[in-house]
Amino acid sequence: MKNALGVEIPEYIEGLGELQPYQGVWKSIIEDEVPSTNISRTLKAKKAHTSKLCSSLEEAIKKCKPFDGMTVTCHHHLRGGDGVLMQTIEILDKMGIKDITLASSSLTSAHDGLVPYVENGMITKIFSSGIRGRLGEIISMGKLKHPAIIHSHGGRVRDFLTGRIKPDLSVLAASAADEEGNSTGSHGPSAFGSMGYADIDARYSKNVIIVTDNMVEYPCVPSTVRQHFVDYVVKVDSIGDATKIASGTTRITSSPMDLRIARIGATVIEHSGLFKDGMSFQVGAGGASLAVAKFLREDMKRKSIQGSFMIGGVTSYGVDMLEEGLFKAIFDVQSFDAAVSTSVLNNPKHVEITCDQYANPNNCGAMTNKLDVVVLGALEVDVDFNVNVITGSSGEIRGASGGHSDTASGANLSVIVCPSFRGRLPIIMDRVHTVVTPGESVDVIVTERGVCVNPAKPNLAAALKKAGLKVVDIRDLKKEVDSMTGIPAKKELGDKIVALVEYRDGTIIDVIKNVTNLE
Amino acid sequence: MAKKKRRSMLYIPGNNPAMIQQAGVYGCDAVLLDLEDAVALNQKDAARILVRSMLETVNFYETEVCVRVNNMQTPFGLADLEEIVPMQPDNIRFPKTESVQDVKDFMKEVRRIEKKHGIKDPKMTIHVMIETAKGVANVYDIAACEPRIDAITIGGQDLTADMGIVKTPDGAGIDYARKRIVMAGKANNLDVLDTVFADVNDEEGLKEETEYIKKLGFAGKALINPRQVDPVHEVFNPTENEIRKAYRVYSEFYKNTKAGIGVFAIDGKMIDAPVVQRAITVLEYANIDIKDIEKSLD
Amino acid sequence: MTPKFKAQAGTFESSDIMVLIEPVAEGSGRQVDISSTVMLQFEEDLKSCINQVLDVMEIENVHLIAKDKGALTPTIKARVETAVKRSLGIQEGTL
């Protein structure tokens, strides 16, 4: 069956069940009604004064009675420094557990160690927001038994709540925890800031283990995950590589190209009609997307604009803007550097939020629905304003869906910032290799050679033109870039579906076919 | 006639393809593709061929493109001209110009090459660069000697080296040179462009220096990093107030001219030709087309 | 014409292409070895662009090695031309 973007979606896939085709940004989201599938919590009673402490992660996992075919999850707040997921999988492997569904919130460069476990069939299904490195390559080659499901951050929460993901065991790292499992990422030697992604796992997983390298005396205050969701607590020597988790502060790029694109992006925002008191925004964690914040900050100060909130993906740059009083609050679902952890701990206006509150499409108050402006990056865009953030130039899986489609759907103004070509590869395609964020939710694409406005917003285009911006038809810009770079040869792909891209409402927006030219 | 803006000229090393192909996106008024000081002595041929090849195909949009060739006294200068003159970039910059004879020698080759390639009505103009004490001394004559010269630049680094002094942040050592060069430029209706500001991270210092040279009469400044474009433009761009005044002056001028009145006053101040000229320049810098003003008054 | 000298032009920087020319015996023909960061997308383009320049410069016998970092066409042409001129010993105005 074809979805609304013309992609052929199978009606049923062995191991994944029935699939629904994408219909449109808001078409499959039920308003003002409780969805028909809503799973219940799995809290277990315990007698008074019993200990949750285990002497090792192995002991804790044993107590959770692991079984073949189980679903295991971790959060990815430790980013490239995560050591917990690998420890967990290695222990399960030693116990001979097979046919595992992995449903961590995302997979990073720290998880290349999973490759042998996928290749030997120990892990047969993966739900994730992102897959990188060698793991992404082998999945692109079709080595995972069932197609992987790529979901957005908000979509993951919805997947839990509707039973699409049925977590049996969640092993959640914390930088500080007490013997009952009150835990947090906001303090401790391996502090990583917000623990927003872990909330849904803690609440709905059948077995929850808190793992920390820093056991504190009861009670751990403040805490994010609370003890009434935690089954076992373990102290380990290391939860990962602190230097790769969160180090120092985030600096604005010095790349002249990224700065140029960011400057144009900021000007777009300033003439969008949204640049006024009470504005809210979200920017990315680096590159041109974060650099937009630098220009907005200067211009907000110049024009004495007081914003309402920032949200994200928070870097120390955002913290600086909060402390300068440019915004009333910052809502943090993931913290990107050490300075942010400190702010989470000390500033009541720096609010840690769960992914549910952030972006779950099936709740009455997802914050993405309140957002004025979001600035996002792209691996590829196309003439229909669709955006690819998941597959690379050979069609290999190497990125993440993340909050891209969530924020784009909710923001009043979704701005994509990207160069018009990267290393000779054009970024504007006739059709992106993989649609993660549909063009319907994308308003402006900003490149160094011109600004393209979605034809659905002619007033915006007129306003930007009037402001002196170089507004161009995206097809013309594509032609111009193609004449500079030449037209790339078509990607060689197989016929096997190796991954599905799930839109935030659970429908399938695109499929990823296997790549034939990787080794 | 309103002059073309030359607030910023971004220097791009001529042997760097990544930078050349992006040169037109930064919104500067002009770029300088450099075959001289930014290119190693054993890569002069590579840079020359690359710049020629880029001039053939790269789109620099509305940016003025200038190529700085090597001085004729070097083994590289003539080869540069042979390769670049036929491409007819907007301008060619001739470094270390010291005398009228230098200009004559240089232009002889330029004209010879243009003739050889059948270029009948060459649009390419010449920038001379004054970088030595001798050049400063001779600048009045240099500025007047060749009709195709339309800009003079001061090369601060080389000038201080030639003078045997250290370049200081206050620019004291090159202050006289700046002023003299500006005067020579103004006497011959040429744009005068200032030297680079080397500290890319010091935006305040850059703005301060740019404010100063604007006061002296410079039309613009050389840049070594795209980050310097916005601060320099900010200094050279007219303020809202200046734009409003200029708009008013031009409107009154147009109305009065149509009515056959040559001399008129605004708020008690006499408005004559130089004031109108300045207003036109301000409007040009503000991207306001005087034709639109005329239309609105008709 | 047949190159006499080993020569190179270009750099390993992004958007550039390093072109190395090794002289071969008369009658050996053209051997063009290309590696590129965008091989999958532009291999044919690189081959034809390089050979075009060699055609124009009438180079029939050569071993040319190109290591490309996503250079655009004008850069590829310029670097091949420069390397060929250097290999023929006819480069001008340089040290």
* pLDDT the model gives residue A261: 97
Mean predicted lDDT score pLDDT of chain A: 94
pLDDT band at A519 (very low <50, low <70, confident <90, very high): low
Please state the φ and ψ torsions of residue A388, each to the nearest 5 degrees: -110, 125
Q: Between B274 and A310, whose confidence is greater?
A: A310
Chain C residues lying within 8 Å of A425, measured CB to CB = 38, 41, 70
Residue B2 pLDDT > 50: no
Give the pLDDT band (50/70/90) at residue A38.
Answer: confident
Of A425, A484, A492, the CB nearest to C38: A425
The predicted pLDDT at position B273 comes to 86
- Chain A CB contacts of B25 under 8 Å are 257, 260, 448-449
| Residue A249: per-residue pLDDT | 74
Quickly state the pLDDT bin for A429 (edges 50, 70, 90): very high
Say which of C40, C43, C45 has its CB closest to residue A394.
C40
Residue A380's beta-bridge partner residues?
A: A388
Q: Cα separation of C69 and A40, whole Å? A: 54
Residue A246: its pLDDT value, please? 65
Mean pLDDT, to the nearest integer, of A64-85? 95
Task: From residue A510, give the alpha-carbon distance in Å to each of A377, A433, A493, C20.
Answer: 19, 9, 15, 44
- pLDDT exceeds 80 at position A7: yes
Mean pLDDT along residues B238-250:
91
Alpha carbons A129 and A103: distance in angstroms, whole number: 9
Q: What is the pLDDT of residues A284-310, one digit of tens each?
A: 888 999 999 999 999 999 999 999 999
Mean pLDDT of the C68-89 span: 97
Q: Report chain C residues whose CB lies below 8 A from the CB of A424.
A: 15, 37-38, 41-42, 70-72
Q: Please give, rounded to a whole number of angstroms, the shortest distance from the CA of C47 to a CA of chain A.
A: 13
Report the gap between the CA of B28 and the closest CA in chain A (Å): 11
Q: Does B75 touch chain C (CB under 8 A)?
A: yes
pTM above 0.90, yes or no: yes
Has residue B3 got a pLDDT over 70? Answer: no
Position B1 confidence tier, pLDDT thresholds 50, 70, 90: very low
Each residue of A180-226: pLDDT tens digit? 999 999 999 999 999 999 999 999 999 999 999 999 999 999 999 99
pLDDT greater than 90 at residue B288: no
pLDDT at B191: 96
Distance CA B18, CA A518 (A): 28
Half-sphere exposure for B181 (CA within 13 Å, toward CB): 32
Which of helix, strand or coil describes residue B71?
coil
Interchain contact, C81 vs B54, CB within 8 Å: no
Task: Report how far residue C42's alpha carbon sits from residue A482's, in angstroms, rounded to the nearest whole number.
Answer: 12
CA dihedral of B109, B90, B293, A264, whole degrees rounded to 10: -160
Percent of chain C with pLDDT over 70: 100
Chain B touched by C49 (CB under 8 Å): no
> How confident is residue A437, by pLDDT bands cut at 50, 70 and 90?
very high
CA dihedral B277, B278, B281, B283 (to 10 degrees): -100
**What's residue B194's pLDDT?**
98
pLDDT in tens, B174-205: 999 999 999 999 999 999 999 999 999 999 99
Q: What is the pLDDT of residues A448-460, one digit of tens each?
A: 999 999 999 999 9
| Region A118-133 average pLDDT | 96
Which residues of chain C neighbour B43 with C-beta distances below 8 Å? Answer: 94
Q: How far apart are CA A387 and CA C46, in angstroms?
A: 29
Quote the CA–CA distance of A89 and A4 in Å, as a whole number: 38
Which has more pLDDT, A75 or B277? Answer: A75
The model's pLDDT over A256-266, given as tens digits with 9 standing for 90+, comes to: 999 999 999 99
Which chain C residue has its CA at the smallest distance from B46's CA?
C82
Is the predicted ipTM greater than 0.90, yes or no? yes
* pLDDT one-digit tens code per residue, B14-42: 999 999 999 999 999 999 999 999 999 99
**Residues A509 and A387 sit within 8 Å (Cβ to Cβ):** no
Confidence of residue A248 (pLDDT cuts 50, 70, 90): low
Residues of A in contact with B230 (CB under 8 A): 263
Query: What is the Cα–Cα distance from B91 to B80, expressed in whole angstroms?
Result: 13
pLDDT of the residue at A247 = 64
